[in-house]
Amino acid sequence: MVINRGHAIWCIASLAFTAIATGLYLSSANHAVHGATGNSISGILFGIAATLAMILAGLLAARKRIHGGQLGTVKWWLRGHLWIGMVSVPLVFFHSGFRFGGPLEQILMWCFLAVILSGIVGQVIQQFAPRFMRTSIPQQAIFEQLPIAIDALKDAADQEMLTVYDTLFTNHDGTETEDADEFLRTFYLRHIRVFLQVDIPGDSPLIHPTQSVGVFATVREGITNRMLPVVNQLELICNERRQLITQNKLQWIMHGWTLVHIPLSVSLLILALIHIIMSLYY
């Protein structure tokens, strides 16, 4: 989610709420004999507010699984998740009086900070990664449709080869040959067509751009002039495949941080519930 002007209302409301909460905290802390504590009236109120903020932020996961606009758009909830989550930071510290407390409270605080940090990291990634992808990766495909895009590239490459060969697989025994008429077809089946798969061998010479340039330069030396346009097109197709590889990596980075953020968030809510029960019990 990119932060833009649509976040203005959420940002202003969050800053205003934080400013009011800060004023209340400073006032209560100055009048308290032992400073701000979690079991004081103000501390309890801040604790309730922090818990509600975390619950509201956590409801985003449930909203994503509910279809329809009666509960607001997913974009609206995403913005709320971000800003309410940030507001919960001062509320938690106001509740604890900037103390980490006992063992359970320490675990809870560190888990809370890990959730906030992972959320910030995820937001930074989502803020800049799409912009980088638009400027650095001209050929892009929808993440879920990457296999379809890869198959399209392979089909395009096959069609290029069929402009100079009647068939792709005749006389191919898995070894490269010096014969000019067979050299390109052998190289294509052994390297290019393998590279135009969803799962690419890690030792493919076409993965790295610099190495790929050298490989195609060698190929051009072993073929006839009539095959040069085909090789040029095949090189362009391989370049597009490398761009899809880069896009896939960036997509995993963009979404992979949730594999840390979501489990931590669930753990935080569980720990917060335990903390509340223990506080009421004792």
pLDDT in tens, 2-48: 788 889 999 999 999 999 999 999 988 888 766 677 788 888 999 99
Q: Distance (Å, rounded) from C-alpha 59 to C-alpha 84?
A: 11
Q: Say which residue the tokens 């294509």 belong to.
A: 188
User: What pLDDT is attached to residue 60?
Assistant: 73
pLDDT in tens, 120-158: 998 888 888 777 666 665 555 555 678 888 999 999 999
Contact criterion met (CB below 8 Å) for 36 and 97: yes
Q: Tell me: pLDDT of 185 over 70.
A: yes
Question: For residue 74, how far is the Cα from the chain centroid?
Answer: 17
Q: Distance (Å, rounded) from C-alpha 66 to C-alpha 76?
A: 14
> 49-53, 110-114, 138-142 — which is least confidently predicted?
138-142
Q: Considering only residues 212 and 76, tell me which one the structure prediction assigns the higher pLDDT.
A: 212
User: What pLDDT is attached to residue 134?
Assistant: 66
Q: Distance (Å, rounded) from C-alpha 193 to C-alpha 204?
A: 11
Q: Distance (Å, rounded) from C-alpha 171 to C-alpha 180?
A: 13
HSE (side-chain half, CA atoms, 13 Å) at 99: 14
User: What pLDDT is attached to residue 113?
Assistant: 95
Q: What is the average pLDDT score of the chain? A: 85
Can you read off the two tokens belonging to residue 140? 């892009």
Q: Output the CA angle 230-235-241, nearest 5 degrees.
A: 130
Can you read off the two tokens belonging to residue 134? 């638009």
Residue 146: count other Cβ atoms within 10 Å of its Cβ: 17
Contact criterion met (CB below 8 Å) for 157 and 234: yes
Query: How sure is the predictor about 247, in pLDDT bands with cuts at 50, 70 and 90?
Result: confident
User: What pLDDT is attached to residue 66?
Assistant: 64
Q: Does the pTM exceed 0.85? A: no
Amino acid at 256: G
Q: Tell me: pLDDT of 164 over 80.
A: yes
Q: What is the 3-state secondary structure (H, E, C) of 134-161?
A: HHHCCCCCCHHHHHHHHHHHHHHHHHHH
SS3 (DSSP) at 276: helix
